[in-house]
Structure 1
Amino acid sequence: MKLIKYGLFAAFGIFLSCSSNQSNENKVKNGYNAELATQLKADQYGMSKYVMAFLKRGPVRSQDSIEAAKLQKAHLENIERLAEEGKLVLAGPFFDDGVIRGIYVFNVETIEEAQALTETDPAIKAGRLVMELHPWYGSAALKQINELHKSLQKQNVSEQ
C-alpha cells in the first residue's frame, strides 16, 4: 500500500512538473518572455527610454565636514526614496576624484521629468552637486536591479 501511495505521489509530482514546464514553454519561447517584456514596458529589442544623469562637482563646496556629511546622508536618503518610487533604476559614485562624481539612470521619458527629480536632491539644492542630463536608451531589465540589489545588500548605505 505504501508503495502505491508513494508511486501515485511521484506520478502526480511528475505531472505537475511537466505541466509547469509546458506553461513556461508557452510563456517563454526562444528566451523571450512576453509577460515580463510587457511588465517592464520593453520595446521589441528589450529596451526602454531612460534619462542618464552625470552628477558633477558643484560650485558650492564650502560646507564644513559636518555639514558635508549631513548633505551626503540626505543625498543617499533621496536616492533610496527615488529608487523605492521606481523613478531611479541605477545610481552610483565614481571612484576617482574627478569632476564627474557619479551617475543616475532615471526611469522617466523626458529630461523635464528627470530635472524635477534632481531638484529634490539636498546636495543639488545646496550647490554641492550639479546634474547634466541626457536621454538614454538601455535594457528594460535595468528596472529590476533595485529588487535584486536588496537581496545582496547587507547594510543600508544611508545607515552609515
Structure 2
Amino acid sequence: MKNTYRVFSVMLFALLLWNCQKETKEKTEGTNPDQNHTEINSKFDSVKAAAYGADAYGMKKYVIAFLKRGPNKSVDSLEKSKLQRAHMENINRLAEEGKLVLAGPFFGDGDLRGIYVFNVDNLEDAEALTNSDPSIQAGVLSMELKEWYGSAALMAINDLHYSISKNDIVE
C-alpha cells in the first residue's frame, strides 16, 4: 500500500507546521498594539495555494476517518486476505482520484486500526467514501468521522510519497 506509512510522517509534518505558524504568530503579535498588521510570507506561492485549496493561512478542511475494529470477527484467514487486498485497492483508487490524502494503519493490535484523511469538506462525502471500503462493508472495520483543519500542503503528499516509495504494499 503506497499510503500505509505516510500517516505518521504527515501528522508529524502537520504538527511541526502548526507549531511554526504558532511561533510566528506569537512573535508578531503584540509588537505594536496600536498597529493592526499582517505579515505576508515571502515564500507564498499563489499558484500552489490555489491548487491545494489553501486559505490565507495555508490551511484547509479535511475529514478524518478513524478506522476501528468492526463487529464482524468471524472472518477466516482466506477471506481476511481477500478483504485486505480489496481494502488496499480501494485506498489506491481513492488516492489516485485525489479524494484520499493519506491513509495508514496504527501499530499494535488495539481496536483503533488506522486512519483515512479525506479531501472533502463534509461528513456525508467522507462517509460515502469510507463506505466504499470492502472491509467496512464486511463489518471487519467500522469508522468514526471527524472534521479537521490542517495544512493544505498535505495535498502534495501523494506525489511526494510515490517519488520515494520503491515498492508497493499490496497486503
- Classify the TM-score, shorter chain: 0.7 to 0.9
Query: Please, which of 63, 79, 91 is the counterpart of residue 51 of structure 1?
Result: 63
Query: Please, which of 29, 34, 47 is the counterpart of residue 46 of structure 2?
Result: 34
Partner residue in 2 for 1:154 = 166
Q: Distance in 2 between matches of 1:132 and 1:66?
A: 27
Partner residue in 2 for 1:143 = 155
Query: Please, which of 59, 65, 68 is the counterpart of residue 77 of structure 2?
Result: 65
Q: Helix, strand or coil: the match of 2:74?
A: coil
Structure with higher Rg: it is: 1
Greater relative CO, 1 or 2 (CA 8 Å, sep 6+)? 2
Q: Distance in 2 between matches of 1:74 and 1:39?
A: 30
The residue correspondences of 1:1-160 to structure 2 (distance < 5 A) are 30-158=42-170, 160=171
User: Which runs of 5 or more residues in structure 1 are unaligned?
Assistant: 1-28
User: Which runs of 5 or more residues in structure 2 are unaligned?
Assistant: 1-40
**Residue-by-residue CA offset, 1:87-109 (whole Å, 9 max, x unaligned):** 00010000111111001100001
Could you say what the CA RMSD is over the residues aligned between the two structures, in angstroms? 1.3
Matched residues, percent identical?
61
TM-score, L = length of structure 1: 0.80
Q: Comparing both structures, which one devotes a greater share of its residues to helix?
A: 1
